[in-house]
């Protein structure tokens, strides 16, 4: 009996020691985007390397956050998604809210929200453990990343230049995501490669 317990304890300690410390990875503009693999709202697994050769936009979402509501309520996020996809980009909305925290969703909720808000992401990735979020250093909802076909990050930061919760700010705002896509797709250097993201904190 005693030996069993000792063995178990040793095994547990050994396992803890072997588990690598959570990588303080960051998504640095100009560097390869961190790889990830996460289930989407239907349960299928999506990974970044499956989209090599395509433009990818990552959008961190929390449907209860007033900043996200500003963009979805005004139709701005849906318009941006449609415009990006029209250019051939893949749009992945990522939800990193931990279970029980604001914005946490399962596949069913994600599907119904997407259709009720008339959003058109290619997929909604469910990241309740926060693995993808931490790998990218996602801080706020919304927090946007644009990745080129080679897998390099060309933009990281806010969706536009008006940090507020007021939908009235949307029409006059400069959309950094579409600007980065336009410039990069045309082969020009991206003029604004990163901005301080604004929004609610990601509820890890």
Partner 1 sequence: MGFSVRRTAGLAIAAAALASPAHASGSRNVQASLVSETTSIQPGRPLQLGLRLRMADGWHTYWKNPADSGLPTKLAWKLPEGFTADDLQWPRPERISAPPLMSYGYNEEVLLPVVVHPPADLPAGQTVRLATRADWLECKEICLPGKAELEITLPVETQASSPSDAAPLFAKTRGLMPTEGDVWRARALSVPRRLVLSFTPSVTPSEAYFFVDQPQVVEYAEPQKLLRTGDGFTLELTPAVNGQTPSRLSGVLVAESGQGPRAIAVDAVVESAAAAPAGTEVVHTRASLWVSLGAAFLGGLLLNLMPCVLPVLSLKVLGFVRQAGETRVWRHGLAFAAGVVLSFWALAGLMLALRAGGERIGWGFQLQSPAFVAILALLFLLIALNLLGVFEIGMSMMGAGNRVQGATGLASSFWSGLLATVVATPCTAPFMGSALGFGLSQPKLQSLLVFTALGLGMSAPYLLLSASPRLLRFVPKPGPWMARFKELLAVPMLATVVFLCWLLGQQTGVDGMAWLLAGFIPVGLGAWVYGRASQAALEGRAHRASMAWAGVLVAAGIALALARGTVPVEAVPGAASPVAGQSLGWEPFSVERRDALLAQGTPVLIDFTASWCLSCQVNERVALSTPAVRAKLREHGVALLKADWTRRDDRITEALASYGRQGVPLYVLYGREKNAPPRLLPEVLTPGIVLSAIDEHLGRSQAAEIRR
> DSSP label at 76?
H
The distance of closest approach from Cβ of residue 169 to partner 1 in the complex, given in angstroms and rounded to an integer, is: 11
The whole-angstrom separation of Cα 95 and Cα 103 is 8
What angle in degrees, to the nearest 10, is found between the helix axes of 176-185 and 76-86? 10
Compare residues 79 and 101 and give the one whose CB is closer to partner 1.
Answer: 101
The distance of closest approach from Cβ of residue 138 to partner 1 in the complex, given in angstroms and rounded to an integer, is: 10
In contact, 71 and 144? CB cutoff 8 Å: no
Compare residues 68 and 123 and give the one whose CB is closer to partner 1.
Answer: 68
Place of tokens 């900043």: 67
Peptide bond into 5 cis (omega under 30): no
The distance of closest approach from Cβ of residue 121 to partner 1 in the complex, given in angstroms and rounded to an integer, is: 22
Beta bridge partners of 201: 140
Torsion over CA: 69, 129, 197, 143 (sign): negative
Contacting residues toward partner 1, per CB under 8 A: 26-29, 64-67, 101-102, 134, 137, 139-140, 156-157, 163-166, 193-196, 198-204
Compare residues 117 and 162 and give the one whose CB is closer to partner 1.
Answer: 162
The distance of closest approach from Cβ of residue 200 to partner 1 in the complex, given in angstroms and rounded to an integer, is: 5
Compare residues 76 and 122 and give the one whose CB is closer to partner 1.
Answer: 76
Compare residues 61 and 123 and give the one whose CB is closer to partner 1.
Answer: 61
The whole-angstrom separation of Cα 82 and Cα 77 is 9
Compare residues 28 and 111 and give the one whose CB is closer to partner 1.
Answer: 28
Place of tokens 């919760």: 165
The distance of closest approach from Cβ of residue 202 to partner 1 in the complex, given in angstroms and rounded to an integer, is: 7
The distance of closest approach from Cβ of residue 64 to partner 1 in the complex, given in angstroms and rounded to an integer, is: 7
| Cβ density class 153-170: b for 16+ within 10 Å, e for less | bbbbbbbbbbbeeeeebb
Number of Cβ within 10 Å of residue 101's Cβ equals 14
């Amino acid at each position: 009996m005693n030996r069993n317990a000792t063995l178990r304890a040793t095994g547990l300690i050994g396992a803890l020691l072997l588990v690598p410390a959570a990588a303080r990875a960051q998504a640095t503009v100009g560097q390869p985007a961190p790889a990830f693999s996460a289930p989407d709202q239907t349960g299928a697994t999506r990974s970044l390397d499956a989209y090599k050769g395509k433009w990818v936009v990552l959008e961190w979402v929390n449907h209860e956050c007033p900043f996200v509501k500003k963009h979805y309520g005004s139709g701005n996020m849906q318009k941006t998604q449609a415009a990006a996809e029209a250019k051939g980009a893949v749009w992945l909305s990522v939800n990193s809210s931990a279970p029980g925290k604001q914005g946490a969703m399962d596949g069913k909720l994600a599907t119904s929200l997407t259709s009720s808000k008339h959003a058109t992401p290619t997929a909604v990735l469910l990241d309740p453990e926060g693995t993808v979020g931490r790998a990218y250093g996602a801080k706020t909802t919304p927090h946007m990343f644009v990745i080129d076909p080679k897998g390099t990050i060309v933009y990281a930061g806010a969706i536009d230049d008006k940090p507020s919760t007021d939908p009235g700010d949307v029409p006059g705002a400069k959309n950094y995501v579409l600007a980065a896509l336009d410039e990069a797709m045309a082969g020009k250097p991206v003029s604004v490669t990163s901005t301080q993201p604004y929004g609610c904190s990601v509820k890890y």
